[in-house]
A and B are shown apart, each in its own frame.
Chain A
């Protein structure tokens, strides 16, 4: 199991000391669960939990052309928001396939923080640097310098305000603040964001200080949560995971993320022509929700069939929902079958289970929108 290539986050020793079950994820040895997935999932839904997400990547883009450049590589429109606000969106290839999904923090008109998926760091950095040819921007990779925690759940605001001494009650959804850190070039970032469908915050700081914050949160009784429940939580909220619901072969339109794609930006963006065509002609395949009538769970890659038994797609993620008690999945299927309530079938090993198309936001999210 010892792989010299595998990376560790700044909290690795904390995880092993807590007895976490560890596994490789995106090149990092990450905690999958501590006490157990179910308890951790429920803690985030009902009180508060903390995730080590230090494996995520942070990239700074700054310079006179920063706004034009970010808009050139990003599907959403950063000119539409003031400094201190955050947009979710994707980077796409010229053919409309997805490079990655990411958050863009607008620090100033000429400075942006891009938060990217751990599994895509090398690919994304190369993509961003290549695309920057001809733009007057500086690109700084802070992936190793920054650690990150996600504090999520209805009690996140209260607990994190207590622990940090910062009143977070006025911070709006998808906004952030910068605070002086130990290193002037690495300010502390606190944002009201997350990946669980609950209210919550994400904190970026130097690795040493992320460990201190983790320890303080542990002392306050916040439950440590692993990547296992991070996946079940985001799944219930209908949020995509790159590699499952977004890939180089799945465009944002096909994944149902058109609201994060601004096709009317004056200068367009890489992939905008292809996505315009998809919008005009309609997509051929689409990510949908499925409710499955079976005690067995559908897993990534299982086949989806139409009522006649012909293959129409594949499962992208499947779980028996902990919060809802329903057997659910997301699947990429032929768009002909994407209408709500369409009957389909899922091949679960040797058996065929009946299923029907449902909305993929299975859980009603509880973000705090001021």
Chain B
């Protein structure tokens, strides 16, 4: 299952873990990604709060967490090549987190709602 924030982050949910990244729409709007400012493994994220940033030539956008939980892993490949996000934003997640409270997922948009929001 994949859920979305209006700020264009997705979370792909696998049981008690989730992979957070930005949507294809956001990647296209940003243009070529030049840097991803990521948290560190073990950092605690809070739903709705900023946890990093993503930069392109044009802009820097804060990244917001869809859920509360602990950072289990960061996608280190993005340190070498941040443009992987442009190539395939769904495969190239930014952080892997534990999902502490599944009820937080209810507040997120489903795919249909997200697609409608970017029309």
Which chain A residues have a beta carbon within 8 Å of chain B's beta carbons?
A: 32-33, 36-38, 228, 232, 295-297, 299, 319-320, 322, 348-349, 351
Contacts and interface: CB of A to CB of B under 8 A. Distances in A.
Given A232-B57, A320-B57, A322-B57, A296 B35 contact: yes
Contact of A297 (B31, B32, B55, B79): B55
Interface residues of B, number: 12
A36 B83 CA distance: 15
* Chain B interface mostly: strand
Nearest to A302: B60
Given A38-B32, A228-B58, A295-B79, 20 more contacts: A32-B58, A33-B31, A33-B58, A36-B31, A36-B32, A37-B57, A37-B58, A232-B57, A295-B34, A295-B35, A296-B35, A296-B37, A296-B55, A297-B55, A299-B60, A319-B57, A320-B34, A320-B57, A349-B37, A351-B37
A351 B58 CA distance: 20
Q: Which 10 A-B pairs have the closest CB atoms?
A: A295-B35, A296-B35, A37-B57, A297-B55, A299-B60, A228-B58, A296-B37, A349-B53, A349-B37, A320-B34
B58 to A, nearest CB: 6
B57 A348 contact: no
Contacts of A296: 35, 37, 53, 55
Interface string B38-62: 0000000000000011010110100
23 contacts: A32-B58, A33-B31, A36-B31, A36-B32, A37-B31, A37-B57, A37-B58, A228-B58, A295-B34, A295-B79, A296-B35, A296-B37, A296-B53, A296-B55, A297-B55, A297-B60, A320-B34, A320-B57, A348-B37, A349-B37, A349-B52, A349-B53, A351-B37
